[in-house]
């Protein structure tokens, strides 16, 4: 599991784990990466994904009866991956040895509003202009709804223009020091389409949660699970307040704040902390070092 939703897997994500210590399992969520149909929104909800994860855990392949058949594992997730990791762990706590979470995002309205309506715009006004560009002034009072209308348009040109603007906005703000290479990758048409469409689909539907505080309210279900939370202090995409609120509700978790980092897992301080976390967990659970990479 990766970020987004809709971000897809890259081989880089394996490098947070020592392959001599971990069995690393990564998959492209519905509608993105190599999953098909590409950018599909139908039957694509948080709970469909939670079900997919559990099916992968117990997957029995006719040609290989022990294809996965994992009894329990460590769940690793950042950004939207932290959302999905929490949703999975709260649904199947008995299957989780531990959680390693980064850039906490619980898909609450205040988090969506901060990044997609007003807040981050004050820090990146230059990039914000590009994000506003596809939306006429009369629709800018609800930018997520305006984007959803365009990202689900039957006109492919309208969809693609909106998708590129949405994806570039996130890429432009993901690191403490902006990264032109990241912006270029996010602006590719195929990636931008699945990333923007699926993200907006989840956001306008409130993550398909019963209440917007569902993940925070259900922390009691997972407080017994060892957890490390890694958070960039200057994360603009998923501000630190969410990590802090989660940690306060879950005092048994360990919160590691990286003072010179933003949102991206590839920033040096965050990468180091994540690698240290996986090394520690491999020592703590040497008999069960299987990980679901929810990055």
Q: Retrieve residue 274's tokens.
A: 């994540």
Angle formed at CA 47 by CA 45 and CA 51, multiple of 5 degrees: 120
Name 108's Cβ contacts closer than 8 Å, sequence gap at least 6: 212, 213, 242
Which stretch of DSSP H or E encloses residue 57?
helix 46-57
What is the rounded distance in angstroms from the CA atom of residue 43 to the CA atom of residue 201?
Answer: 11
What is the rounded distance in angstroms from the CA atom of residue 153 to the CA atom of residue 141?
Answer: 20
Give me the half-sphere count of Cα atoms (radius 13 Å) on the Cβ side of residue 95.
Answer: 22
Tokens 């990758």 sit on residue: 185
Residues carrying an active site annotation:
79, 235, 263
Q: Retrieve residue 203's tokens.
A: 């956001």
What is the rounded distance in angstroms from the CA atom of residue 104 to the CA atom of residue 232?
Answer: 10
């Amino acid at each position: 599991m990766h970020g987004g939703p809709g971000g897809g897997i890259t081989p880089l994500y394996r490098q947070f784990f020592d392959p001599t210590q971990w069995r690393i399992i990564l998959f492209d969520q519905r509608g993105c990466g190599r999953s098909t149909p590409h950018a599909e929104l139908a039957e694509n909800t948080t709970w469909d994904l939670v079900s997919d994860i559990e099916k992968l855990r117990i997957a029995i392949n006719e040609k290989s009866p022990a294809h996965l058949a994992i009894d329990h594992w460590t769940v690793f997730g950042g950004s939207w991956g932290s959302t999905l990791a929490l949703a999975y762990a709260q649904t199947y706590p008995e299957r989780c040895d531990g959680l390693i979470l980064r850039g906490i995002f619980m898909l609450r309205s205040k988090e969506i509003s901060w990044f997609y309506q007003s807040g981050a715009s004050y820090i990146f006004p230059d990039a914000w202009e590009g994000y506003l560009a596809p939306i006429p002034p009369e629709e800018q009072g609800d930018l997520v709804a305006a984007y959803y209308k365009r990202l689900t348009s039957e006109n492919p040109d309208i969809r693609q223009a909106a998708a590129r603007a949405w994806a570039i906005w996130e890429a432009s703000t993901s690191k403490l020091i902006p990264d032109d290479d990241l912006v270029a990758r996010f602006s590719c048409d195929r990636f931008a389409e699945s990333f923007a469409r699926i993200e907006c689909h989840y956001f306008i539907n409130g993550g398909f949660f019963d209440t917007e505080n569902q993940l925070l309210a259900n922390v009691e279900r997972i407080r017994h699970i060892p957890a490390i939370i890694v958070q960039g202090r200057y994360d603009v995409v998923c501000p630190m307040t969410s990590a802090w609120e989660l940690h306060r509700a879950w005092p048994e978790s360990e919160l590691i704040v990286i003072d010179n980092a933003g949102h991206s897992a590839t920033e040096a301080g965050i990468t180091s902390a994540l690698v240290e976390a996986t090394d520690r967990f491999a020592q703590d659970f040497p008999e069960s070092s299987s990980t679901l990479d929810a990055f």
